[in-house]
Amino acid sequence: DTGVSQNPRHKITKRGQNVTFRCDPISEHNRLYWYRQTLGQGPEFLTYFQNEAQLEKSRLLSDRFSAERPKGSFSTLEIQRTEQGDSAMYLCASSRTGGRYGYTFGSGTRLTVV
């Protein structure tokens, strides 16, 4: 169990640029979640996958956000035409299926849009 791995750890980008983050979940975990967290707030749900199927996407998410999980393994989260309001910590988590299990979170990618 190597944990959930996220890359990069930090990303600074100029407004209007596109960014892509990667998440490698625990290999036995079929569910993968993306959350966003800003200072002083709890994690806010963005989207989740079961295997390669994206089962739900937050209505708060604009069309500039897209996520994929090809072959049900790693996942990528892309933000197009970044805005200053996108600055946040982006957390990935994974969990087992077949019941109710806790999430294992990655260390996150901190995005700063300047």
Partner 1 sequence: QQPVQSPQAVILREGEDAVINCSSSKALYSVHWYRQKHGEAPIFLMILLKGGEQKGHDKISASFNEKKQQSSLYLTASQLSYSGTYFCGTEGGGGSNYKLTFGKGTLLTVNP
> Rounded to the nearest whole angstrom, what is the least distance from the CB of residue 46 to partner 1 in the complex?
10
What DSSP string runs through 1-21? ----EEE-SEEEE-TT--EEE
Stretch that binds partner 1, among 10-18, 31-39, 60-68, 75-83 (CB under 8 A): 31-39
Among 81, 83, 101, 112, binds partner 1 (CB under 8 A): 101
Say whether residue 98 binds partner 1 (CB under 8 A): no
List binders of partner 1 among 59-88 (CB under 8 A): none
Select 58 or 80, whichever has its Cβ closest to partner 1: 58
In the DSSP assignment, the letter for residue 98 is: S
CA–CA distance, 42 with 62 (Å, rounded to integer): 20
Structure tokens at 90: 């982006």
Say whether residue 102 binds partner 1 (CB under 8 A): yes
CA–CA distance, 33 with 75 (Å, rounded to integer): 9
How do strand 104-105 and strand 88-95 relate by DSSP bridges? antiparallel
Footprint on this chain of partner 1 (rule: CB under 8 A):
4, 31, 33, 35, 40-45, 48, 50, 55-56, 91, 100-108
